[in-house]
Amino acid sequence: MMWQDNIRRWRALPAERKLQIRWEAIPLDVAQSMAFEREPVPVEKIRATLAQIEPPAILKLPAASSPIPS
C-alpha cells in the first residue's frame, strides 16, 4: 500500500469519523508531547481529563441513548 492510498482512504471517510479519530488521538498525542518535554503524564490521567470535557457536538450521542440525563 502506498501513501497515496492512505490519503484516499482518509479523504473518503465521513467528517464525523475523521473527527472521532482525531478526538481519540488526543490523549496519546498529549502524553507523547509531555514526555518529550521531560514532564511525563500517564495516558490514563489525560483520558480522565478528556472525559470531563464536552466532546464536539458531532460526536455526542443522540439524547435518547445518552447515559447522562439532560
**Predicted pLDDT at 55:** 82
In this structure, what C-alpha cell is assigned to residue 57?
A: 457536538
The identity of residue 21, as a single letter, is I
The ranges assigned to domains in the chain are 14-51
This prediction has a pTM of 0.69
| pLDDT tens for each residue of 8-46 | 999 999 999 999 999 999 999 999 999 999 999 999 999
Q: Alpha-carbon distance 62 to 59, whole Å?
A: 9
